[in-house]
């Protein structure tokens, strides 16, 4: 399961994705529109900035904005910022690698091998999907709903 931070970050990024190229957007506006606690959102946006996803402008007329095109922001990268590794065990990740204490031999561990396959499948699925997909899907469904 995603943490609230990771989930809220997807909400905020989708919102900023729709505004891509329009200049800074206020934290308050994002918070109100996406139903995210204002102060909590502050920390989230700051973290996204530190990780090179968002840019910001301080002072009057300031706010946050997406740095990259929505189709260049994949979900694996975003989720990892807040929730860390996507794999189910530390020993099947690259960045957060750590051997299990209880493991006899990491080289022959069957659990590790099988869960590594699962990790690769999931990570690839998340890497293949971007903010642009989320935005496009929402637009498609909204249109379809309005027509009926």
Partner DNA sequence: AAATATTCTATTAGTTCTGTAGAATTTAAG
Partner DNA sequence: CTTAAATTCTACAGAACTAATAGAATATTT
116: Cβ–Cβ under 8 A, 6 or more apart, which residues?
A: 87, 92
Phi/psi at 91 (5° precision): -80, -5
Does position 101 interact with its own copies (CB under 8 A)? The reply is yes
3-state helix, strand, coil in the chain (%, to 5): 60, 5, 35
Residues in a beta bridge with 93: none
Closest CB 97 distance from its own copies, rounded Å: 13
Closest CB 1 distance from its own copies, rounded Å: 6
Task: Return the residue of 36, 53, 68, 99 that touches its own copies, per CB under 8 A.
Answer: 36
Residue linked to tokens 């934290």 = 27
Does position 145 interact with its own copies (CB under 8 A)? The reply is yes
Measured N-to-C along each axis, helices 75-83 and 38-50 cross at an angle, to the nearest 10 degrees, of 110
Alpha carbon distance 122, 16 (integer Å): 25
Task: Return the residue of 94, 95, 110, 147 that touches its own copies, per CB under 8 A.
Answer: 110
Does position 8 interact with its own copies (CB under 8 A)? The reply is yes
Closest CB 124 distance from its own copies, rounded Å: 9
Q: Which residues bind its own copies (CB under 8 A)?
A: 1-2, 7-8, 10-11, 14, 34-36, 75, 79, 84-85, 87-90, 100-105, 107-111, 113-115, 117-118, 121-122, 125-126, 129, 133-139, 141-142, 145
């Amino acid at each position: 399961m995603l943490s609230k931070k990771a989930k809220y970050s997807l909400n905020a990024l989708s919102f900023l994705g729709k505004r891509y190229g329009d200049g800074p957007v206020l934290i308050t506006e994002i918070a109100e529109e996406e139903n995210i606690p204002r102060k909590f959102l502050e920390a989230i946006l700051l973290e996204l900035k530190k990780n090179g996803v968002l840019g910001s402008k301080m002072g009057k007329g300031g706010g946050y904005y997406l740095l990259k095109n929505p189709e260049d922001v994949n979900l694996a990268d975003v989720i990892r910022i807040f929730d860390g590794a996507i794999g189910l065990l530390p020993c099947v990740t690259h960045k957060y690698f750590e051997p299990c204490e209880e493991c006899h031999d990491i080289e022959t561990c069957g659990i590790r091998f099988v869960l590594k396959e699962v990790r690769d499948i999931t990570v690839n699925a998340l890497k293949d999907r971007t903010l642009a997909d989320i935005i496009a899907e929402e637009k498609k469904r909204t249109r379809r709903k309005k027509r009926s």
